[in-house]
């Protein structure tokens, strides 16, 4: 309908410019045409705003739709809002000093795992404007099945982390967009984000843990209010 009306208006102006009396007033006719088109598209777009699909575009991320979160997919748009301005305590267990393997280590992890482990999550937290505190007391924390029951599954973490990868400090030849995309999209297992919602509304301090899953190179991420974690989960 929009194209039909715009086309009809254009045709009417084209015809009008061939009428001798209006041809002498060419400027007025074209000004009328411009104003009419602006008003028409302005009114049309305003009336149809409710039909436009809303999109999310977090910094340095790809585009997302609201139903992704409802379906448990791509939790980073939500996390970006949750983490903003929060103080976040994490383990301080980067494995960057263990470079040197060409393939797999004794645990079955690809050498690249020792590059991205922890470092990319710190980059993501900082990009979300969280104040990151690396706490060695959290190193080697392994949640039990009972402790993990306090957390709800938000969805896959692979997508948000593969876009963070190029922000990490390593600058060798493979430090580009394609290799980390393959690594997170295809190679590693199902990394997921889990959230404890108890006490979350007023929480200013959070705990973010990463826990190695059974599949090679795979970490899942657990987020909880620090007070609730200290008083309930970790007891």
Angle (nearest 5°) at CA 197 between 152 and 194: 30
- Average pLDDT of span 18-44: 78
Query: pLDDT (tens digit, 9 = 90+) per residue, 146-156?
Result: 999 999 988 87
pLDDT at residue 47 greater than cutoff 90? no
pLDDT at residue 126 greater than cutoff 80? yes
**Which residue bears the tokens 């086309």?**
7
Tell me what pLDDT residue 124 has. Answer: 87
Higher pLDDT, 100 or 225: 225
Query: pLDDT (tens digit, 9 = 90+) per residue, 68-106?
Result: 556 655 567 778 888 999 999 999 988 765 555 567 777
Query: pLDDT (tens digit, 9 = 90+) per residue, 2-24?
Result: 777 777 778 877 777 777 777 77
**Average pLDDT along the chain:** 78
Other beta carbons less than 10 A from residue 52's beta carbon: 8
Tell me what pLDDT residue 205 has. Answer: 97
pLDDT at residue 52 greater than cutoff 50? yes
Tell me what pLDDT residue 57 has. Answer: 42
Tell me what pLDDT residue 172 has. Answer: 58
pLDDT at residue 143 greater than cutoff 80? yes
Long-range CB pairs of 168-171 (<8 Å, 24+ gap) are 168/115, 168/116, 168/119, 168/120, 168/123, 169/119, 170/96, 170/115
Band (209; pLDDT cuts 50, 70, 90):
very high
Domain spans of the chain? 2-51, 66-233
Which of 11-20, 122-131, 224-233 ranks highest by mean pLDDT? Answer: 224-233
Tell me what pLDDT residue 203 has. Answer: 94
In the chain, which residue ranges form alpha helices assigned H by DSSP? 2-16, 20-23, 26-47, 66-70, 76-83, 113-116, 119-127, 145-148, 158-164, 178-182, 226-228
Nearest Cα residue to 183 out of 116, 103, 99: 116
Other beta carbons less than 10 A from residue 139's beta carbon: 12
Least confident residue range of 25-29, 165-169, 185-189, 211-215: 165-169
pTM as predicted:
0.66
């Amino acid at each position: 309908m929009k194209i039909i009306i715009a086309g009809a208006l254009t045709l009417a102006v084209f015809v009008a410019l061939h009428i001798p009396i209006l041809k002498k007033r060419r400027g007025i006719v074209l000004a009328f045409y411009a104003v009419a088109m602006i008003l028409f598209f302005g009114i049309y777009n305003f009336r149809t705003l409710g039909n436009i699909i809303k999109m999310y575009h977090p910094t340095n991320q790809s585009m997302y739709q609201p139903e992704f979160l409802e379906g448990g997919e791509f939790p980073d748009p939500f996390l970006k809002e949750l983490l903003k301005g929060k103080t976040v305590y994490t383990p301080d267990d980067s494995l960057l000093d263990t470079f040197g393997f060409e393939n797999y280590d004794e645990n079955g992890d690809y050498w690249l795992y020792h590059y991205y482990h922890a470092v990319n999550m710190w980059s993501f937290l900082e990009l979300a404007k969280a104040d990151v505190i690396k706490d060695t007391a959290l190193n080697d924390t392994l949640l039990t099945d009972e402790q993990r029951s306090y957390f709800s599954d938000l969805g896959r973490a692979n997508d948000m982390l593969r876009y963070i990868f190029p922000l990490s400090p390593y600058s060798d030849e493979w430090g580009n967009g394609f290799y980390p995309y393959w690594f997170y999209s295809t190679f590693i297992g199902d990394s997921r984000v889990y959230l404890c919602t108890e006490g979350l509304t007023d929480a200013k301090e959070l705990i973010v843990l990463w826990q190695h899953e059974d599949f090679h190179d795979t970490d899942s991420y657990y987020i909880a209010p620090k007070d609730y974690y200290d008083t309930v989960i970790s007891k």
